[in-house]
């Protein structure tokens, strides 16, 4: 369909909508925002007739590349270090994608602009595409990569793992609570406009550098759909900005969304890119450099800040604090260290860092070795089972962290940890903003105004609580992270494919697992104050263990 005729066709399909008269519209999904019918347009001007055929052609290219990768034995050159992290990443990401599809009716119910509804309908179809095309990519990895364990249990593992839960909030945040908070600000304005750049552009580049050209094929095809979604979000955001009553809610939702997604997405993607790669060229961009380019310059300065002239209150301090955590406080490195500490309850392998890695980290993040080098040396020497315990249970000096009640990433920047008695229990938070998210944002009122549509935090938010007092080997069996011989573990602290070097439940039985939050709640006030003071003071890694 020629472009000019698409414009005409798009104008024509606007005739399809009408205002019901037999019923008084009772929206299924609610918002506390006040939106009045606006004249915002859908600049993408797609109709189904041009859309389906365009997408079919994109699919042909993707599946052609899949065939090429299989026929060309791509897996002879992929880096196991990289592929192992895909067991985590690709277990998580199809759920946020399908959640984005499920989120669209929240907006069709809440946004009084039928032209935008058409854009949302296309987005729904895109998102089903993204979820199932990613599941199919993972299926190819499972069938063709040397170690399929972890891919084979993917959606089960995503459901019962602490890291899966961290990632899951990225999807659950799209589909619950206030329709505008969830689907417009959290999903379209922040997740899609900001973080898909690191997710779907930075990640493919690193995949290609590690011999994997299928992930770029799939994810850059996915990313080519995102511009439509950003436009959907922009139109609705302008409608919200048109009413002064929404200013406080916009401020609340931007703080929550920018902070939460920094905490969650930077944790995951930062680790995949920095610790999942074998490409240690000094001139390749670090995650911090990518973040500066894709997030700070392209999103924050070029998209968000210009909206101030329309009255949007941009929480600059939240963006700057995200950068402060990445650059000055070692957020990504601390998350990687935690993931590696927790390897026995993962469903992927984590390769030890080598001298070449150390040199690169020191070059990109001066001072890295002094803070993390010795611990990674311990990790390396403890990676093969030689009568010792997994590193988390050896005395390296590392203190197993408390978990943040809001973002559920542990409180890894120890000095920033907040603890508070909330809703009848002691909770820990990784930062003041996460404390604010639970105690101020996700509540029935905000700045004195009722917010009856706002969502609620639910569930068993500290994963460790589920297994307090359990034997480690029993936990692994309960999770299903044991291979088909009944004893060899799915996770391994290395990428060696020699069965003699692989850990089994024989190596992990007799080790008791504990929940820091349960212990915290069992302490007296005095013990708790002392404990948290010590926790916030941090730890020193022993030179030997």
Q: Which of residues 45-64 bind another protein (CB under 8 A)?
A: 47-49, 52-53, 55-56, 59, 63
Query: Is residue 434 part of the contact set for another protein (CB under 8 A)?
Result: no
**Could you say which of 7, 64, 68, 132 contacts another protein (CB under 8 A)?**
132
**Could you say which of 34, 41, 144, 303 contacts another protein (CB under 8 A)?**
144
Q: CB under 8 A: which stretch of 139-147, 319-327, 340-348, 430-438 binds another protein?
A: 139-147
CA-CA distance, 269 to 200, in Å (whole number)? 10
**Could you say which of 37, 68, 146, 512 contacts another protein (CB under 8 A)?**
146
Query: Is residue 103 part of the contact set for another protein (CB under 8 A)?
Result: yes
**Could you say which of 78, 201, 335, 391 contacts another protein (CB under 8 A)?**
78
Cβ nearer to another protein, comparing 332 with 489: 489
Distance of CA 102 to the CA centre of its chain: 18
Cβ nearer to another protein, comparing 61 with 316: 61
Query: Is residue 293 part of the contact set for another protein (CB under 8 A)?
Result: no
Query: Is residue 483 part of the contact set for another protein (CB under 8 A)?
Result: yes
Query: Is residue 149 part of the contact set for another protein (CB under 8 A)?
Result: yes
CA-CA distance, 76 to 145, in Å (whole number)? 9
Query: Is residue 65 part of the contact set for another protein (CB under 8 A)?
Result: no
**Could you say which of 41, 247, 284, 468 contacts another protein (CB under 8 A)?**
284
Query: Is residue 354 part of the contact set for another protein (CB under 8 A)?
Result: no
Query: Is residue 484 part of the contact set for another protein (CB under 8 A)?
Result: yes
DSSP 289-324: HHIIIIIIIIIIIIIIGGGGGGT----HHHHHHHHH
**Could you say which of 40, 86, 154, 197 contacts another protein (CB under 8 A)?**
154
- Cβ proximity of 471 and 512 under 8 Å: yes
Cα dist from 349 to 14, 150, 437, 502, whole Å: 52, 9, 33, 11
In the DSSP assignment, the letter for residue 153 is T
Tokens of 481: 């992270």
Q: CB under 8 A: which stretch of 10-18, 236-244, 299-307, 416-424 binds another protein?
A: 10-18
SS3 395: coil
Sign of the Cα torsion 33, 39, 43, 48 reads positive
Query: Is residue 506 part of the contact set for another protein (CB under 8 A)?
Result: no
Query: Other CB atoms closer than 10 Å to residue 68's CB: what's the count?
Result: 13
**Could you say which of 3, 22, 387, 469 contacts another protein (CB under 8 A)?**
22
- Cβ proximity of 175 and 182 under 8 Å: yes
Query: Is residue 424 part of the contact set for another protein (CB under 8 A)?
Result: no
Cα dist from 99 to 75, 92, 103, 167, whole Å: 31, 11, 6, 12
Residue 284's contacts (CB-CB under 8 Å, 6 or more residues apart) are: 209
Residue in the structure block whose two tokens are 């030890």: 352
Query: Is residue 382 part of the contact set for another protein (CB under 8 A)?
Result: no
Q: CB under 8 A: which stretch of 22-30, 370-378, 427-435, 533-541 binds another protein?
A: 22-30
How many residues lie near another protein (CB under 8 A)?
A: 114
Query: Is residue 73 part of the contact set for another protein (CB under 8 A)?
Result: yes
Query: Is residue 355 part of the contact set for another protein (CB under 8 A)?
Result: no
CA-CA distance, 383 to 390, in Å (whole number)? 8
Query: Is residue 128 part of the contact set for another protein (CB under 8 A)?
Result: yes
Site for another protein in 222-281 (CB under 8 A): 278-279, 281
Q: CB under 8 A: which stretch of 68-76, 246-254, 338-346, 354-362 binds another protein?
A: 68-76
Query: Is residue 158 part of the contact set for another protein (CB under 8 A)?
Result: yes
Residue 455, phi then psi, degrees to nearest 5:
-70, 180
Residue 477's contacts (CB-CB under 8 Å, 6 or more residues apart) are: 505
* Angular region, 250: left φ>0, alpha ψ -120 to 50, beta rest: alpha
- Cβ proximity of 296 and 320 under 8 Å: no
CA-CA distance, 407 to 170, in Å (whole number)? 10
CA-CA distance, 26 to 5, in Å (whole number)? 36
Cβ nearer to another protein, comparing 162 with 535: 162
**Could you say which of 2, 16, 387, 423 contacts another protein (CB under 8 A)?**
16
Rounded to a whole number of angstroms, the minimum distance from the CB of residue 536 to another protein is 26
**Could you say which of 44, 101, 187, 413 contacts another protein (CB under 8 A)?**
101
DSSP 241-296: HTSGGGHHHHHHHHHHHHHHHIIIIIHHHHHHHHHS-----TTSPPHHHHIIIIII
Q: CB under 8 A: which stretch of 78-86, 249-257, 392-400, 509-517 binds another protein?
A: 78-86
Query: Is residue 292 part of the contact set for another protein (CB under 8 A)?
Result: no
Cβ nearer to another protein, comparing 59 with 432: 59
Cβ nearer to another protein, comparing 8 with 388: 8
Per-residue x/- track, 25-44, another protein (CB under 8 A): xx-xx---------------
SS3 504: strand
CA neighbor of 302 nearest in space, from 221, 230, 206: 230
């Amino acid at each position: 369909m020629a472009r000019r005729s698409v414009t005409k066709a798009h104008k024509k399909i606007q005739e399809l909508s009408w205002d019901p008269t037999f019923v008084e519209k009772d929206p299924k999904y609610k918002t506390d925002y006040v939106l009045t019918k606006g004249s915002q347009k859908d600049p993408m001007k797609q109709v189904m007739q041009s859309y389906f055929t365009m997408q079919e052609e994109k699919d042909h290219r993707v599946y052609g590349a899949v065939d090429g990768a299989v026929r060309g034995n791509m897996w002879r050159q992929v880096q196991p270090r990289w592929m192992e992290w895909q067991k985590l990443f690709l277990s998580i990401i199809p759920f946020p994608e399908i959640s984005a599809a499920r989120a669209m009716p929240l907006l069709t119910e809440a946004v009084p602009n039928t032209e935008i509804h058409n854009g949302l309908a296309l987005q729904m179809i895109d998102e089903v595409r993204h979820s199932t095309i990613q599941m199919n990519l993972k299926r190819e990895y499972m069938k063709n990569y040397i170690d399929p364990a972890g891919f084979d249990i993917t959606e089960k593992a995503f459901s019962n793992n602490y890291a899966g839960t961290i990632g899951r909030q990225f999807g659950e945040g799209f589909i619950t609570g206030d329709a505008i908070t969830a689907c417009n600000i959290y999903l379209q304005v922040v997740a899609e406009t900001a973080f898909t750049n690191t997710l779907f552009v930075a990640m493919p580049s690193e995949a290609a550098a590690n011999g994997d050209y299928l992930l770029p094929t799939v994810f850059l095809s996915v990313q080519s759909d995102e511009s439509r979604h950003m436009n959907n979000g922009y139109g609705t955001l302008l409608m919200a900005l048109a009413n002064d009553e929404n200013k406080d809610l916009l401020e609340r939702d931007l703080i929550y969304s920018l902070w939460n997604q920094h905490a969650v997405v930077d944790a995951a993607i930062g680790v995949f890119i920095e610790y999942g790669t074998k490409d240690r060229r000094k001139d390749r961009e670090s995650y911090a450099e990518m973040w500066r380019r894709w997030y700070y310059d392209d999103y924050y300065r070029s998209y968000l800040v210009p909206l101030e002239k329309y009255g949007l209150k941009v929480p600059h301090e939240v963006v700057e604090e995200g950068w402060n955590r990445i650059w000055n406080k070692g957020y990504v490195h601390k998350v990687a260290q935690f993931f590696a500490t927790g390897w026995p309850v993962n469903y992927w392998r984590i390769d030890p860092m080598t001298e070449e890695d150390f040199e690169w980290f020191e070059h990109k993040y001066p001072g890295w070795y002094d803070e993390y080098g010795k611990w990674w040396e311990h990790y390396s020497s403890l990676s093969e089972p030689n009568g010792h315990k997994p590193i988390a249970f050896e005395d390296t000096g590392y203190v197993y962290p408390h978990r943040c009640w809001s973002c559920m990433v542990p409180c890894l920047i120890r000095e920033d940890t907040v603890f508070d008695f909330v809703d009848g229990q002691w909770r820990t938070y990784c930062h003041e903003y996460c404390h604010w998210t639970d105690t101020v944002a996700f509540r029935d009122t905000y700045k004195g105004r009722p917010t009856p549509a706002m969502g609620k935090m639910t569930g068993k938010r500290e994963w460790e609580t589920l297994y307090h007092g359990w034997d480690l080997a029993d936990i692994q069996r309960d999770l299903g992270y044991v291979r088909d011989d009944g004893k060899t573990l799915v996770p391994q602290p290395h990428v060696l494919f020699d069965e003699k070097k692989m850990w089994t439940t024989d190596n992990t039985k007799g080790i008791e697992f504990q929940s820091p939050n349960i212990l915290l709640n069992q302490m007296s006030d005095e013990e708790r104050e002392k404990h948290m003071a010590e926790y916030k003071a941090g730890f020193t890694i022993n030179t030997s263990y």
